[in-house]
């Protein structure tokens, strides 16, 4: 029996050696100061209080020197605090939860596909294979216009969906924060594929009668990563406008973008994208520091649009029959991996502990100088973050990031469950994932969260948040009636 057991001695020793190395490097300055402070303390004890007092009295300072020194200290402190960036807080957020009448079970989706594409059985079979492996569940939702056979993607229906999703999210946010519409100073809306005139931001201004001097912005065509772009824009505006509130709305309107052709690369979004939206309240007010849930630490944006393949890998176009849809390239995952690599290269030195940065540096030098075949060292981002919110773009996206970042199943649980329950809700998916972590009671004070999103263009954007306070299990939100059922097992293939 004993001979069949593996020998864990070496792995245990290696584990403790690595832990010791991490502690030594990350606390190097503290460990260096301890003997210095101890030496100074021993010296003070040795000379005694009388001699120390005599030494202090021997230092002669006239009034002018004291005043100049005081002024210099005040001047340096003033410059430091004035040049220091304002802290940006996420006070709270709200996610839209579609009614059960919008639910699209697999059977309903496939029945509609067979009726709509009755002359193209191969396209129907393709959609069924995608749906079986998608990671979506039976409770995802589509807007009413898509439930018709054939769908009715009219402008009126698209506006109706936009009003329902956006107004519901904002109403919920106002209720949670106690904020009044007149308190909003900055408004940013991002919706990639639906850009009507007047804009969605103007629609919100009209609905809530916002102030005439509000700074409003409407972002379109920026894909699933546009939510973090909106937060980056809000951060820059809040740096220049003190004592302000920013309302950020992220959504994707499905109604006018449901593809009714037969091109496989353009049918794929039909299987993955579902209704969703989120509204966020950001603030730079000091009094919001205590009630805010999170503090924005940093945002890193990567754009690979200079490469033609990356630019066209998510591309809106017409098919041979003139029907408009989103064409997803076969190279999408490779391009996403390259964009992630560039983003990690930038964000790594900003968030990783010194121990991981040194290991990465030594490995890089070793590969360049000694042996190019050395296996590259992948930094352990689990040392920098407690929670990961990976854009729920599809099962393949989550699998690839879990593999490349060496994350555990628990680290990607929020992403997989958000995809299963709500589908790919585009730029708002990160907030359904954040809400899942909160609903599970896992968000503690001081926890760090890494949000990673991908979008057309091609872009990879990251946001880092720090939890301001332990978040109590919410009494509302999109997961309220189903969180007890999750996590669920998601099979590799669901036979339809």
What burial class does residue 7 get, using C-beta atoms within 10 Å of its C-beta: 0-12 exposed, 13-18 middle, 19+ buried? exposed
Residue 347 neighbours by CB distance under 10 Å: 21
Phi-psi region of 120 (alpha: psi -120 to 50; beta: other; left: phi over 0): beta
Of 378, 355, 358, 228, which is closest to residue 297 (Cα–Cα)?
228
Considering the candidates 224, 271, 313, 467, report the single residue annotated as catalytic: 224
Q: Between β-strands 215-219 and 186-190, what pairing exists: parallel, antiparallel or unpaired?
A: parallel
Q: Is 27 an annotated catalytic residue?
A: no
Considering the candidates 271, 313, 387, 460, report the single residue annotated as catalytic: 387
Considering the candidates 270, 284, 327, 420, report the single residue annotated as catalytic: 420
Question: Which one-letter DSSP state was computed for residue 86?
Answer: P
Q: Is 391 an annotated catalytic residue?
A: yes
Considering the candidates 191, 343, 391, 468, report the single residue annotated as catalytic: 391
Say how far residue 181 (Cα) sits from the centre of its chain. 26
Q: Which residues of 403-418 are buried (b: 16+ CB within 10 A; e: fewer)?
A: eebebeeebbbbbbbb
Say how far residue 238 (Cα) sits from the centre of its chain. 19
Q: ω before 150 within 30° of 0 (cis)?
A: yes
DSSP calls for 23-42: HHHHTHHHHHHHHHHHHHHH
Q: How far is it, in rounded angstroms, from Cα 236 to Cα 294?
A: 17
Q: Is 241 an annotated catalytic residue?
A: no
Q: Is 224 an annotated catalytic residue?
A: yes
Considering the candidates 257, 424, 461, 468, report the single residue annotated as catalytic: 424
Residue 70's SS3 state is helix
Q: How far is it, in rounded angstroms, from Cα 439 to Cα 451?
A: 17
Give the pair of three-digit tokens for residue 257.
Answer: 């973008």
377 HSE (CA, 13 A, CB side):
17
Q: How far is it, in rounded angstroms, from Cα 201 to Cα 214?
A: 11
Give the pair of three-digit tokens for residue 454.
Answer: 């991908």
Q: Is 303 an annotated catalytic residue?
A: yes
Taking the alpha carbons at both ends of the chain, their separation in whole angstroms is 45
H-helix segments, 178-295: 200-208, 226-240, 264-272
Of 390, 399, 446, which is closest to residue 418 (Cα–Cα)?
390
Q: Is 420 an annotated catalytic residue?
A: yes
Catalytic center residues = 224, 303, 387, 391, 420, 424
């Amino acid at each position: 029996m004993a001979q069949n057991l593996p020998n864990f001695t070496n792995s245990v020793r290696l584990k403790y050696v690595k832990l010791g190395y991490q502690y030594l490097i990350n606390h190097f300055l503290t460990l260096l100061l301890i003997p210095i402070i101890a030496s100074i303390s021993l010296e003070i004890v040795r000379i005694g209080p009388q001699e120390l007092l005599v030494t202090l009295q021997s230092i002669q300072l006239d009034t002018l020197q004291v005043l100049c020194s005081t002024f210099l200290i005040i001047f340096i402190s003033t410059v430091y605090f004035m040049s220091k960036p304002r802290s940006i807080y996420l006070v709270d957020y709200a996610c839209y939860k579609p009614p059960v009448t919008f639910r699209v079970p697999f059977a309903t989706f496939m029945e509609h596909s067979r009726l709509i594409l009755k002359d193209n059985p191969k396209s129907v079979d393709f959609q069924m294979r995608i749906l079986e492996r998608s990671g979506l569940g039976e409770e995802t939702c589509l807007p009413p216009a898509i439930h018709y056979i054939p769908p009715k993607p009219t402008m009126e229906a698209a506006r109706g969906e936009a009003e329902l999703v956006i107004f519901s999210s904002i109403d919920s946010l106002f209720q949670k924060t106690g904020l009044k519409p007149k308190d909003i100073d900055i408004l940013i809306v991002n919706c990639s594929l639906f850009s009507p005139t007047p804009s969605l931001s103007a629609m919100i201004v009209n609905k809530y009668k916002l102030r005439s001097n509000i700074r409003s912005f409407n972002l379109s065509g920026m894909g699933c990563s546009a939510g973090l772009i909106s937060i980056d824009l809000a951060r820059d505006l809040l740096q220049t406008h003190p004592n302000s509130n920013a309302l950020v709305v992220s959504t994707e309107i499905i109604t006018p973008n449901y593809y009714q052709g037969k091109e496989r690369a353009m049918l794929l979004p039909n299987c993955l994208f579902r209704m969703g939206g989120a509204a966020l309240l950001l603030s730079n007010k000091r009094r919001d520091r205590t009630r805010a849930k999170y503090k924005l630490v940093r945002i890193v944006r990567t754009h690979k649009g200079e490469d033609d393949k990356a630019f066209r890998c998510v591309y809106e176009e017409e098919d041979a029959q003139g029907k408009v849809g989103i064409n997803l390239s076969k190279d999408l995952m490779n391009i996403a991996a390259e964009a992630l690599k560039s983003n990690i290269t930038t964000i790594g030195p900003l968030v990783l502990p010194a121990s991981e940065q040194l290991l990465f540096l030594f490995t890089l030098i070793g590969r360049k100088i000694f042996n190019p075949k050395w296996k590259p060292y992948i930094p352990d981002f689990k040392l920098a973050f407690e929670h990961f919110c990976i854009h729920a773009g599809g099962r393949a996206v989550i699998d690839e990031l879990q593999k490349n970042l060496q994350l555990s199943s628990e680290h990607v649980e929020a992403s997989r469950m958000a995809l299963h329950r709500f589908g790919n809700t585009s730029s708002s998916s990160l907030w359904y994932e954040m809400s899942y972590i909160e609903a599970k009671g896992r968000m503690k004070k001081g926890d760090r969260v890494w949000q990673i999103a991908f979008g057309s263009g091609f872009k990879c954007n990251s946001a880092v948040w720090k939890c301001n306070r332990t978040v109590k299990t919410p009494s509302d939100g999109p997961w309220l009636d189903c969180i007890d059922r999750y996590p669920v097992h998601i099979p590799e293939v669901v036979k339809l």
